[in-house]
Amino acid sequence: MTTETSAASRIFVTRNWYVGAISAELRDRPLGRMICGRRIVFFRNPDGRVQALAATCPHRGADLARGKVVGDSVECPFHGLRFNGGGACTRIPSQDSEAPIPRALRVPSYAVIEKAGFVWVWPEPGDTPTCEPEVPEFLGYGTPWRMTMLPRGQLSAGSYLNAMENALDDAHLAFVHQATIPGASERVAPFKITTDADRRGYGGIAEMGSMVAESPAVADVATGSRVMDWLARLAMDNLKPTHKAYHYRLSGLVCITTTDASGPRDHTFAFFTPSDAEHTYLFGGVTRNHSLNSVADWLFKQYMPALTAEDSKILGELVPEAQGPGGLATPFVIRADRQSFPFRRLYAEAMAAEGKTAPWALEGSAASEN
């Protein structure tokens, strides 16, 4: 029987690692997430290992994420049934302890790995992963690099297609982010796309030489507070990039690396994880070798949620026919879309490898003119 959630998973690549949580989010209680249209509950064993199960109790449909962790199992909040990390039921409180527990009474389990401060999940139940999670090298940089992260995953408006293409799109900065990136140029710098050899990602470098005068400096970040903006000008180095490198990977990673005359200065990154047809999780931060002070750390923590809230707002306000998993049926493609439009083709290829059809147009109208 096809359930609503299994049908929803048909619009995503599911034989793939996605970030399901930040390690610090998982403490002594279960954590529930909707990932690729599937309700998943994460919890830690007594030894600290993370487990991931389908979050729907098969008895009466209670949400296991609203239960509690007992030993190596998660306990259902409705009737107290417990399920271990492999998905097997280990206790039915309403029956005698000697009574057998039906072997069929179980929930699907998911492969899960904890690395580099993130919990990665393979959202195909019972499947054996064919690769390891892709952990970017910069997540392990030591001194003089410093990393500031969002404290938890953010569930944002926007289908996976819309969220990913928005993250790879510079043309919206001057309009959507007027409050947080004041003075952003309306122009998009020259940008050349290079597809990765394994066709699991792409990237390129935007030459900022002709636009440096139009680009805001790092110290010009804004949070909407005059006091914090004044502090930013004191605490942040007044850097302007000569190059901006973009990179997307099938893991949902989008990384923007800014470089000045002295070399790479920061990696602003986000892991996007599909939630349902119209929502996407974002886990992100910045790794930098500038503005190395505690005030800058605090400012980045205030700034990042303000920036992502602007994206969530505009994506949530798209007309209904543009909010679905495929966006507009035939979007009109302009020159600036060269940065973001290749995403849909590479992701569609990965979907086809799983026997799925992408719910979006691979070529928009007027694409050949640009």
Q: What confidence score (pLDDT) does residue 19 get?
A: 98
CATH number of the domain to which 15 belongs: 2.102.10.10
CATH number of the domain to which 303 belongs: 3.90.380.10
Residue pair 73/51 in contact (Cβ under 8 Å)? The answer is no
Q: What confidence score (pLDDT) does residue 102 get?
A: 96
On whether both 93 and 198 belong to a single domain, the answer is: no
**Burial of 328 (C-beta count, 10 Å sphere; 0-12/13-18/19+):** middle
Residue 17's alpha-carbon distances to 20, 111, 355, in angstroms, are 9, 9, 18
On whether both 350 and 230 belong to a single domain, the answer is: yes
Total domains present in the chain: 2
- What stretches in the chain show pLDDT beneath 70? 1-6, 209-217, 219-225, 365-370
Q: What confidence score (pLDDT) does residue 362 get?
A: 87
Q: What confidence score (pLDDT) does residue 369 get?
A: 41
Q: Examine residue 103 and state whether it is found in any structural domain, yes or no.
A: yes
Q: What confidence score (pLDDT) does residue 189 get?
A: 82
What residues make up the domain containing 204? Answer: 139-360
pTM: 0.92
The span from the CA of 128 to the CA of 121, in Å, is: 11
Q: What confidence score (pLDDT) does residue 357 get?
A: 94
Q: What confidence score (pLDDT) does residue 130 get?
A: 95
Q: What confidence score (pLDDT) does residue 370 get?
A: 42
Q: Examine residue 2 and state whether it is found in any structural domain, yes or no.
A: no
Q: What is the DSSP letter of 311?
A: H
From 122, 151, 166, the end of a domain falls on 122
From 95, 122, 149, the end of a domain falls on 122
On whether both 337 and 244 belong to a single domain, the answer is: yes
Residue 105's alpha-carbon distances to 38, 58, 261, in angstroms, are 19, 7, 62
The span from the CA of 284 to the CA of 298, in Å, is: 15
Find all residues with CB under 8 Å of 241, minimum gap 6, and list them: 208, 212, 215, 258, 259, 260, 265
On whether both 169 and 108 belong to a single domain, the answer is: no
Tell me the one-letter amino acid at 104: A
Q: What confidence score (pLDDT) does residue 109 get?
A: 98
On whether both 213 and 268 belong to a single domain, the answer is: yes
